[in-house]
Amino acid sequence: MVKRKIVVALGGNAILSSDPSAAAQKAALVETAKHLVKLVKNGDELIITHGNGPQVGNLLLQNLAADSEKNPAFPLDTLVAMTEGSIGFWLQNALENELCKAGIDKEVVSVITQVVVDQDDPAFENLSKPIGPFYSEEEAKAEAEKTGATFKEDSGRGWRKVVASPKPIGIKEIGSIRSLLEAGGLVIAAGGGGVPVIQEEDGQLRGVEAVIDKDFASQVLAELVDADLFIVLTGVDSVFVNYNQPDQKKLERVTVAELETYMQEGHFAPGSMLPKVQAAVAFVTHKPESKAVITSLENLGALIENDSGTIIVKG
């Protein structure tokens, strides 16, 4: 059996059900861990990433609701770190328990990960990522005057604060992540896309008000650890073109060139399947000897057995 180094990017449905309570999210991750441990049983090395969109949004609401001079709300980079830590703990605990049941002696480690972004990234001029509560137009204007934040109308549902979503260019803790892998650990890293930081000319790091797309951060992590396989998990077993149309087509084994054509034709929804496809394409483009897979958590067993899912290769 050839041991593979695999980065698995968990989709939001692996953590959050309709119940946002901590107990429900922990229960969801217990089920998630059962599927992930199948890869460990297969002899693979794992690095796991995860989203945090709903969780950081809920934490932001809690901070805003309690905001006062004596109990001030925390900035966004800190909230990202807090949710990276809490979800990392839940997942770490669930994986350790599942490994114990399987009789596998392996340490699971969560790394609060600082992901470096470029301070000249155009995303800082074109704020696009909505976060936090909905406001009326009047409330949004008042909040903007009070805080200096930017608000945009969101799909007819109201006005929301928007922040930058810059592309990740590096991972500060990559050396430690590699060392943990070499020591035989199962590593959880870059949760929620990681904490966005800018590296100043003198080497100092500064957290910024931004949100990094989890799939792009996972792709950079996969490249930096020299992964053999990059798995992006979502709510469906495979990617489709002409989705929900009479002529819909399941993509099973597809090349980078074919996916680029499909993206140009507008087959994948922005903010949904598109970033997953873009991240998979970028990984395979930069590491043509490797491959990427987009599939569901529940399909991991079939992926191990017969390469089920959408398999992306260079050509």
Q: Residue 210 gets which letter from DSSP? A: B
Cα distances (Å, whole numbers) of residue 29 to 32, 33, 215, 222, 273: 5, 6, 19, 22, 22
Whole-number Å distance between alpha carbons of 26 and 31: 9
Whole-number Å distance between alpha carbons of 309 and 235: 12
Total residues belonging to the chain:
315
Largest pairwise CA distance in the chain: 62
Whole-number Å distance between alpha carbons of 297 and 98: 16
Query: Where do the H-state alpha helices sit in 158-255?
Result: 174-182, 214-224
| Inter-residue long-range contacts of 296-300, CB under 8 Å, 24+ positions, other chains counted | 296/11, 296/233, 296/234, 296/235, 296/236, 296/237, 297/10, 297/11, 297/13, 297/14, 297/32, 297/35, 297/233, 298/35, 298/237, 299/237, 300/35, 300/36, 300/38, 300/39, 300/231, 300/233
Task: Write out the catalytic residue numbers.
Answer: 12-13, 129, 214, 276
Q: In which residue are the tokens 């020591």 written?
A: 183
What is the Cα 126 distance to its own chain's centre? 21
For residue 207, give both structure tokens. 């957290």
Of 117, 113, 120, which Cα lies nearest the Cα of 212? 117
Of 207, 196, 208, 189, which Cα lies nearest the Cα of 169? 196
